[in-house]
Amino acid sequence: VPLKSARPVEEAISTAGGVDLAGLTPELMLTQRPGVYCAGEMLDWEAPTGGYLLTACLASGYRAGLGILTNL
């Protein structure tokens, strides 16, 4: 897909929606599907553009990874 131009920064946000945090354990495992973990933009949360979104994605991935190790 050829890039014609960049969009304004006001439009550069993540989309809303995703897995409801109420359906997850503290380790980010789905309560209805044991053994399935969610992280990053799979989760229903919003963050401002920039390093915040990336940092939150990495942090939730780390948290899910620790949960996996704990439950092995």
pLDDT per position as a tens digit, 7-59? 776 776 655 678 999 999 999 999 999 999 999 888 887 666 666 778 888 99
Domain count, the chain: 1
Note the pLDDT of residue 48. 61
Dihedral sign of CA atoms 23, 20, 42, 57 in order? negative
What are the tokens at 15?
């989309």
0.85 exceeded by pTM: no
Segments forming the whole domain that contains residue 58: 17-71
Give domain status of residue 58, yes or no: yes
Give domain status of residue 12, yes or no: no
Give domain status of residue 60, yes or no: yes
Give domain status of residue 5, yes or no: no
Note the pLDDT of residue 47. 63
Report angle CA 11, 12, 14 to the nearest 5 degrees: 110
Give domain status of residue 2, yes or no: no
